Amino acid sequence: MGKLLIFSGNSNPTLAEDIARRLEMLVSKAIVGAFQDGETRVRLEESVRGADVFIIQSVCPPVDHNLMELLLMLDAAQRASAERVTAVIPYFGYARQDRKRTGREPISAKLVANLIATAGADRVLTMDLHSPAIEGFFDIPVDHLRATPLLADYFRGLPLSDLVVVSPDAGGVRRANRFRHFVNSAAALAVVFKERHEHGEPEILGLVGEVEGKTAVIVDDLISTGETIVKAAELLAKRGAHPIYACAVHPVLAPGAVERLEESVIEKVVVTDTIPIPREKCCDKIELVNMAPLLAKAIMYINKGLSMTALFKEVEAEWLA
């Protein structure tokens, strides 16, 4: 494979620079901006002919703008004769639109997958898709990393006693159980059952599992409005859990989410840096876990043609040690 090159859009340049530094290289220069009429402008400032190109871009707010940057960068690299182009998408926007919930709706996640491949991606590297089935929406290879071991490692450093790991909905049980395996396989598991109405607000219906007198950790893939996690925490507190922590991979943090978390009964909210958190959204409760080490290692494995399964096993062994 050709020379390794890393480019970055504007969605998360700090993460891209950290990844490049761990690979002992620099992010290649590119112009990624806008023309006066608002159209996205892209120009790669370094030759990519015959190179193994990795374009790092989270599809996070502003989602459509960041997606367009990614698509144009992929197209530019492919047209400039890169040997291979990998889209590194730490947070895959539109992943929650993975099926039709009512009539006459698009399956947006499938459309975005098609756009990425059509634009020029030969491969996709991403983290913690909202639904693993989205991997099947692509007709190109997808390497799907999980942040669970790194998030679990944060909690392994805390003096947690009588732990219960909580999934905030039935669909996240597998994720929560995997987290429990990494933190403490002897920990209990509980599940909050909810119903989401058409306007999007979740209604908590009940809890399965014993939480009284236990330290609770709520595990989810993302925090958007924060309502699901905050309402789950309120139910856990009523049932006698204390203290209560929350962790999620992707801090989408829609307007009002930080204030909601700050005022909640949750002690700490642990998230990763797949999405940058602006200074005005930071608060004392939020702790960040760096994903650059894992993403850098994955890029190195792909570039050298090494087995990604071997990487997954290596990561699990490292954090279980």
> Would you report the helix, strand and coil content of the chain in percent, each value rounded to 5?
35, 25, 40
Catalytic residues: 194
Say if residues 7 and 299 touch (Cβ distance below 8 Å): no
* Whether the Cβ atoms of residue 49 and residue 12 lie closer than 8 Å to each other: no
Distance CA(122)–CA(165), nearest Å, equals 38
Q: In sequence order, what are the residues at sequence separation of 6 or more whose Cβ sits closer than 8 angstroms to the Cβ of residue 171?
A: none
Neighbours of 29 (CB within 10 A): 10
How crowded is residue 259: how many other Cβ atoms within 10 Å of its Cβ?
12
Contact 118, 87 (CB under 8 A): no
Closest by CA position to 303, among listed 60, 24, 12: 24
- Number of Cβ within 10 Å of residue 14's Cβ equals 11
Distance CA 140, CA 33 (A): 28
In this structure, which amino acid lies at residue 245?
Y
Contacts of 260 (CB under 8 A, 6+ apart): 225, 226, 227, 230
How many residues are listed for the chain in this entry?
Answer: 321
Sheet of 215-223, strand order: 202-208, 188-196, 163-167, 215-223, 244-251, 268-272, 286-289
